[in-house]
Each structure stands twice: as C-alpha cells, then as structure tokens.
Structure 1
C-alpha cells in the first residue's frame, strides 16, 4: 500500500466501527501503519468487546497493510498513555492522532442524570484530552532531542457542538469543548511541529442512524447511486489533515458531509458600541437591542421547533 500517508504511524480512537473504522481503513490504504483503538462498547457506552478493533485490524492486514489493536480506555491516564506507548514500541513512532471515540446518552436537560452527563463528557472531552496530552509529551521530547516531527492531530467535534442539538446537552457541551481544546492545542504545540485541527462530520453511524433514519438511509445495493451519508465520504479529508500534505493548516474547524467540505468560521467580534463609560441597565439594554438588529442571526439549534 502506498499513498499520501506512506510511512506514517497513525492512531485512531474509536476505530472499531463507523467513522473511526472508515478512517483507519483509509489511512492504511494510504500507506500508514495504524493502531486501532476501540473498547467495543454499545452505543450508550455499556459493555465491552475486543471484536470490533480486531476485525478492523484483520481487514487492514488482509489488504496488505500493517495494523494492531489496542483495547485500552483512552478516557483514563493509563489507557491513553498505553495507547501512545503501544504505537511507539510496536511501530517506532506516532505521527498522527485521530481522536474519534464516543457514545451517546441523549436526554432532555430536565431528565438528564448526572451519570449521563459525566459519561458523555468523559468519553468525548476527556477522551480527547488524555491521548492528546500523552502524544504531545512524546512529540515535545522528540523535538527537544532534535527530532522535530511533522505531527498531526485530528479531533472530532460535531454540528451539535457548533450549533447545539435539542436532547443532547451533554454531547453538545463536550463537542463544543473539543473545539476549544483544538484551538489551545494548536497554539501550544506548534513549536514542536504539531498541527491540530477539528472536524464536524455528518455520516451514517450507530450514533446517528436512529436520529436521522429517514435522511441517512443507504441507497439500494446495486443501484449505483452515491451513498451521501457513508462514513467513508468523511475519511479523505481526515487522511489529508493527518498527512504531510496539510502543512501549514492548523487551528481550523471543518465540516464534512457527503461530497461537501466547509471551513467553519467561529466566534469573532460583530457589531460593537463603546460608550467609553459605564452604562445604566436601561442604556445597556437599548444599546444591545440596536446591536442585535445589526448582527447576523445565529444558526438554528438542531431539533429546535420540531
């Protein structure tokens, strides 16, 4: 296998199914050695199985690629550290980290239990932070030893993190946090040769099939129609971001869906009024009303008004 990721060592979390699986297979097809991390849990995080990760490894090896499975919990320090150690000890390095692992526990806010909140924030946000931390420590050590690497991180956010999603307060908050983490990591790690970007994908996976069953159905087999919601449509951008080809691209957030790629433009100053003194509450309200009339309306929260 040869391609844009030739010779790179790539770690993908949550790579046993869905988007992570598609990313792992695409990196392998592009020439990378891949560490496939997955706990094999159910869609709500329950249970565990080594099967999904090993199935992906088997598929990569059957196609002539190199891969190995890692079953550690990347939302723990031990699991995240062992993920990086495994890549370095088995393949000699870590060049690209794709943080993708996650699950859902959807509830309206008034019905959400603390455990539903903690579990989702843990797997998505802590599960991004810890692998990033331990990979960054290795890249820093390499840079200090005079071996500055062309390292890449691709984090997985969501449209829910950018706009919000009704019934997904925990997931939306975690995915918004991933965007903030991406921006900070890009600023802090550039000195070590690390580029960090985030992706908000839309595809048919276990996490989306129930919510978007009508719009995400696959076309009939043999129809020749483009499967717009196939996870494999997202992976080419992830592979490019994880390769040397993306040199100079960092601190960015992208949306990817079907054949569409969008550069997302985040918070930036809009209309402003400066009194150069203290407002009264009434004055502040009148000024704010005026500013809102000049501002661009925010995008609609997913599920609002349904």
Structure 2
C-alpha cells in the first residue's frame, strides 16, 4: 500500500493560512528559509490584502505545502508519491527531493511575477460543474475568438472542469454552460488565465529561469498533474515545472494513475480540501483526506497504518 501527498493550486489559498501551520521546528525552518530567499517576512503574505496578488498566493501555497510535508516527515510521515495541481507541483517536487527549497522559492516568485505581469487585470478562471467535457467544449467553441479568448484549462473530474480566459468571455461561457445544464458556473479566486495558450510566452520565460538550478531524481514518485503520469528524469520534471502554467491540468487522470500505481491514501497539504473532494471518488475503497481539519497525530497514525 502507498501514500500519495497532494498539493493544491490557486483558489485554495485563504487568509491566515501560514499562521495556521503547526507550531513545529520544521515550520519555523521553512519560514526562515523563505525569508532568506525572499529577503522579506513570508508571514506578511497571507493577509486578505496581500492574497489579492498572484505572487503572494503562489508563495503561500508553496510555503504551506512544504512546511506541512516537512512536519509530517519529521515524525515519520513520508509519502510514496506526490502530485500537485498547477503551483502545487513545486512543493510536490520539494517534498520528493527533486529541488532544493530555496530554489523553489525563487522560482515560484518568478513564475507568479511572469503570470501577474502578463495579465495584471481582466482575465481569470471559472469552475464549471454538471456537464461533461464534450458539452463544455461545445460551449467554448461558441465563445472563443481572438477578441474573446476562452480555453478548457482543468479537467478535474468527469463533470467538473475549469475554463480560463478573458473575463467577458468567461462570463459568456458560464451563462451558456448553465443554459446547457451545468449546475455551477462561478469565478475562482484566480486573476490570471492559467493552463492555456495565453501563457505560452510566460512558460517559455520560465524555462530560462531554471538555468543553473540543480534537480535530482525523485525519492518519492513524482506524478505530473499535466501529463497524468510518473516522471523520474530530472530534465523531464524541469520541463513539467516550467511549462505547467500553459498546459491543461488532468487531475482526475492523475489521481487515477496514482491509484493504479498502488496509492490507497491521498493526503492533501494545506490549504483547504479541494483536491480531497476531487480525489475521493477515484480513491473509493481507499481514503482521501486533508491535513486541514484533522489532528496531526491522527494523520500520522493513518499513515503508519497504511505503511504497515
């Protein structure tokens, strides 16, 4: 039996998320390393005002994911596999031993800056639930045009997807999706059009940001949320990390691949439980849970039981 650690993407952030991390030496170490890499106090990043910034949001998700994984590892809770959604791929790579944490901090800051500078306003992402991929693609085809770009960005579940693009195009697509039978069409707390061709230029610039950064073979199996398969070659993981902002997310297939590789517990790192709700149907017969809302000792007992 195996344990999968999952790391959420933008939209999972919440005010106070770094202050809510466990009072533990590994939390303190992570915050200190973050401060050294950034040259500023990371605890200033999780205020409501700060989280309006893509940079603050992505850094908070990195810090929270790495800190919690380290706290668990210090007490024997080590994953067999890791998978991250979008920005979550970076803390996943740190937890798997692929990339040094200070490098990850600098890379995530650069990633978020590129995304925010490319699309400072007027763009975003919407969640669409209740219709399948084919129906949503038909909706997108009715709206998408050079002046109204909208793309299918995340395939999170068979009837739960995310679209990205221009705000007006997203509003039009959301209304058409509801008319086509969708049960939900609402804007996410994401201010950039992730996981589509609009970020191709930023992804190319991100590849250059990896120059000189050392990556190692993963100690835990690294599952790509973009490719829905395991990657072992550091060069392939570098490409996955650099380019994932412009590639579709295939979360459902990623969770299915983890299950097929033997994962039976999926544990979501902070913040929230979005990935837990998406992963639970795939892990029927196993267990999907989040760190948030569960005691650390309870989580560690579950992990120990799983590892026998």
Q: Is the TM value for this pair above 0.5?
A: no
* TM-score, with length taken from structure 2: 0.29
Given the two structures, how large is their TM-score scaled by the length of structure 1? 0.29
Which of the pair is proportionally richer in helix? 2
**Rg comparison, structure with higher value:** 1
Q: Which has the higher contact order (CA 8 A, sep 6+)?
A: 2
